[in-house]
Amino acid sequence: MSETRLTFGKSKRLRGRGVFKEIMDARARVDGPAIAVHARPNQGSTHRLGISIGRRVGSAALRNRIKRLIREAFRLQQHEFPRVHPAPYDLVVVVRQHEPLALLHYSTALSDAVKRLHATWQKRATRHHADQSKDS
């Protein structure tokens, strides 16, 4: 029996302002009280995560704690995220000012956001396919 490894290596991390901007410019976002999640399909084989958290959220220790919790939520949930076209996704989590939540809350928020974003991207893909068929 093969077990899926729950890892969060460098290949699953998004870095750089330009990459974040491209994902945010895709205009697919789900807002929640504590986090907003932006997504864009990538052509890779795995989901990738980036976290944007501003200084107004709190002290460095608080921001780092929230980032650790979000990364852990992603690490634990990533194998349950959709894998059918147009997935996998590049995800950018934008953290809003809030008191740190339990890991379960971040996991639920992230999972729900990815499901909703996947539905959005499936609709876009279907619409795009229909438009191409109509033009032919």
Convert the pLDDT of each residue in 86-122 to its tens digit: 889 999 999 999 999 999 999 999 999 999 999 999 9
List Cβ neighbours of 3 (8 Å cut-off, separation of 6 or more).
none
Average pLDDT, stretch 64-77?
Answer: 96
pLDDT for the residue 4: 65
pLDDT for the residue 6: 75
Confidence grade of residue 135 (pLDDT, cut at 50, 70, 90): low
Q: What is the DSSP letter of 112?
A: H
Please say whether the structural domain 10-126 has been given the CATH code 3.30.230.10. yes
pLDDT for the residue 3: 55
pLDDT for the residue 1: 44
Cα 72-55-34 angle, rounded to 5 deg: 50
The tokens describing 90, both together, are 């590049």
CA distances from 3 to 48, 82, 91 (A): 20, 18, 25
CA distance 95 to 100: 10
Task: Give me the half-sphere count of Cα atoms (radius 13 Å) on the Cβ side of residue 67.
Answer: 18
Per-residue model confidence as pLDDT tens digits over 17-67: 899 999 999 999 999 999 999 999 998 889 999 999 999 999 999 999 999
CA distance 55 to 39: 23
Confidence grade of residue 70 (pLDDT, cut at 50, 70, 90): very high
The residue with greater pLDDT, 67 or 6, is 67
Would you say how long the chain is, in residues? 136
Sign, CA dihedral 115-128-86-91, equals negative
What is the pTM for the complete model shown?
A: 0.88
Peptide bond into 100 cis (omega under 30): no
End-to-end Cα spacing for the chain: 47
The domain segmentation of the chain, as residue ranges, is 10-126
